[in-house]
Amino acid sequence: MKEEKKSASGKGVGGIFFFGGFILALIFGWIVFPNLLFSEKAQPLNFSHVAHQDSTCDQCHSFNPDGTYSGIPRLDNCVECHESPMTSEESERILVEEYIQKQQEIPWKVYAWQPDNVFFSHAPHQAKNIECTQCHRDVSKEAKLPPYSENRLTGYSKSTMKMIDCEKCHAQMGANNNCQVCHK
């Protein structure tokens, strides 16, 4: 009788240790490790899409002749309006003094960039009229850039679209989900 009781309570203590360890692992896995894994990087200057709502998207983002997206606009796209500052914003001072006057391209950090082993093209998606916001954050109401988090191990952005999200939509819309469609 005594023996049984002892081992039973031993199990109970072990259970507590197991449960405690389990909770610790969850905290580590979900909160501590991701925070250690990602470091926040500052953008070179703040860019407000709201301040530019009088321009159309394709004045700054357009397709190249080969079907690739021209991507983040280059300084050429800014100079026509920002030769000299028209606001008292710090972001515009940086734009004019650090980049336009020095003829230096702005090293934007691209939230959406995929790892090198992924092939992506905007062209087939544009052909199916898929909205930008299906894959990107809605920038149209954005006055301040969100924080940019970089994976310390891989150097990739945290907010790239994940494989499961590409595949989910491909399955729904009947697009090809063979590995080599996205990994060449």
Interface residue list for ligand HEC (CB under 6 A): 45-49, 51-52, 55, 57, 59-61, 69, 71-73, 77-78, 80-82, 86-87, 89, 91-92, 95, 108, 110-115, 118-122, 124-125, 128, 130, 132, 134-136, 139-140, 145, 160-163, 165-167, 169-170, 173, 175-177, 179, 181-183
Q: Which residue, 117, 114, 115, 97, is CA-closest to 106?
A: 97
Answer for the pair 143, 51: CB distance below 8 angstroms, yes or no: yes
C-alpha span between 127 and 133 (Å, rounded)? 15
Report, in Å, the least distance between residue 26 CB and ligand HEC.
Answer: 21
Contacts of 64 (CB under 8 A, 6+ apart): 70
Report, in Å, the least distance between residue 25 CB and ligand HEC.
Answer: 21
Q: Which residue, 146, 136, 137, is CA-closest to 47?
A: 146
For residues 37 and 139, which CB has a smaller minimum distance to ligand HEC in the complex?
139
For residues 8 and 153, which CB has a smaller minimum distance to ligand HEC in the complex?
153
For residues 4 and 84, which CB has a smaller minimum distance to ligand HEC in the complex?
84
The b/e string for 38-53 (b: 16+ C-beta within 10 A; e otherwise) is beeeebbbbbebeebe
Q: Which residue, 57, 155, 167, 165, is CA-closest to 113?
A: 155
For residues 35 and 126, which CB has a smaller minimum distance to ligand HEC in the complex?
126
For residues 3 and 58, which CB has a smaller minimum distance to ligand HEC in the complex?
58
Report, in Å, the least distance between residue 67 CB and ligand HEC.
Answer: 11
Report, in Å, the least distance between residue 49 CB and ligand HEC.
Answer: 6
Q: How many residues does the chain have?
A: 184
Report, in Å, the least distance between residue 10 CB and ligand HEC.
Answer: 41
